[in-house]
Structure 1
Amino acid sequence: MFIAVVVVVLIGALVVLNNLQPSKADTPPAAGKVYDISTEGQPTIGKPDAKVEVVEFGDFKCPTCRQFETDTFPKLKEQYIDTGKVKLTFINFSFMSQTMGLKDNDSRRAAMFGEAVYKQNPEAFWTYYQELYKNQGDEREAWATEEFLSNIVKQIPGIDVEKVKKDVQDDVNKSELDKDHSIVNRLGISSTPSLFVNGQLSPGYTLDALTPLIEAELAK
């Protein structure tokens, strides 16, 4: 009887633990496969009816994401976004703090500041995006403090920095970040930046990697 009770308790505990863990895809995203990625309510730059959508899964603490922003984004914007052919959507995958073993999850804080800025002014998000990457610190250190991020937001015209701080402190946009991470888990993404072109995984984050997929979609 005692053993039976213990087994039941253990099974119940496992069920609870499984419910607390986000579900993940069995395999990582594969090249050539088209994935359904809902981008409604996500920060997007470019013509809403652009034929091609590039989706970036990024972390503001990720140094390679910074390389995408500084090296690829300007060229992508000039050649494809500003010409109305492509729109770019950003989805948070804020995991770097945990990967680096940091107690202060400033990776999440940076994402939440971005969500709060987006809530006030969707277009202003892209100023935050560029300024934050421009001033990115060492991923091994907890640099994305409230003070640091507030100073970035203060540079963005028309954004109420005190409201942004309060929204972050109150976890107002937690559901938005949870939604982002549920998309990440469903797709099985494990690294940043991960880029998709009309639902197809790009082999890299450079313009050379993205261009063949973009041009193929434009030719359809």
Structure 2
Amino acid sequence: MQRRTLLLSGAAALTAVGGYNLYASLSGGAPLPGSTLIEPGAAQAQTSDGAEIDISQVLEMEAGNPEAEVTIMEFSSFTCPHCARFNQTVYNDLKEAYIDTGLVRYIKREVYFDAYGLWAALVARCGGQMRYFGVAEMIYAEQSDWARGESGADVADSLRRIGRRAGMSDEELNACLTDRDQATAMMQVYQNNMEEYGITGTPSFVINGETYSNMSFAEFQEILDPLLPASE
């Protein structure tokens, strides 16, 4: 089966023009036919054919209690080593103590510093909401392997292997990795989040409207416990 061309080629596929912009390109470095830069904060964000970007297709990935009084939003990049460390350590403690017990609503929102991080997010989302957290855990656990591929093709192949182990077919994965509309919408949501919450590093967290940088589990406890309703 002939391999379909990936949306982006290398980290240079994301360029800064007043902020991060999506520049979709073929693996050879040429722009996709009709591709345009996506300006953050544009009044009428549009795709390359002039249509408005439909960001409703970017599903919110959340766990825990949707009715909880405390909401935690995690902003992280799949290529960020600190994010991988957080997700392999502190997140597990949060999950056990606050998420699985229904004390908080936990939302994961992705940050795209480079093309590989966007590819990883496309793979994580490829299995839908039910598989997202499990696939994300696999991607973070193996970050030191797949993110160090010698080429974009190596990185993509490694991400596909993770996706296959999570139960996705090559056809599904290739469709996700070449879905320019989804990638453009994800980039627009990312840019909107950066502007709204002022995220400057990863991982970052917004807890009931307040923004925090990377924290230990003990620091989370100090913030979360006073916000939780008193037990009867």
Instruction: Please say whether Structure 1 and Structure 2 have the same fold, judged by a TM-score greater than 0.5.
Output: yes
Paired residue for 1:124?
131
1:81 pairs with 2:99: yes
**RMSD of equivalent CA atoms:** 2.7
**Identity in percent:** 22
Shift of 1:212: 1.9
Q: What's the CA shift for 1:123?
A: 1.9
Q: Would you say the 8 A contact 1:195–1:204 is kept in 2? A: yes
Which is greater in Rg?
1
For 1:151 and 1:133, how far apart are their aligned partners in 2?
14
The correspondence for 2:118, drawn from 105, 108, 111, is 108
**Counterpart-to-counterpart distance in 1, 2:171 and 2:38:** 33
Aligned length: 177
* Gap change, CA 1:161 and 1:169, over 3 Å in 2: same
Matched-pair contact (CA < 8 Å) for 1:114–1:128: yes
Q: What's the CA shift for 1:51?
A: 2.2
Counterpart-to-counterpart distance in 2, 1:195 and 1:148: 29
TM-score (norm. length: structure 1) = 0.71
Q: Which moved more, 1:133-142 or 1:203-212?
A: 133-142
Please tell me whether the aligned partners of residues 41 and 191 of structure 2 are also in contact (alpha carbons under 8 angstroms): no
Cα 1:139–1:217, aligned 2, differ >3 Å: closer, same or farther? Answer: farther
Residue number in structure 2 paired with 1:50: 68
Unaligned runs of 5+ in 1: 1-16, 25-39, 98-104
Could you tell me which residue of structure 2 aligns to residue 178 of structure 1? 188
In structure 1, the residue matched to 2:45 is none
Q: Which runs of 5+ in 2 are unaligned?
A: 1-16, 19-36, 43-57
1:22 aligns with 2:40: yes
TM-score by length of 2: 0.67
CA contact (8 A) 1:52 1:87 kept: yes
Deviation at 1:190, TM superposition (A): 1.4
Counterpart for residue 178 of structure 2: 169
- More helix by proportion, 1 or 2? 1
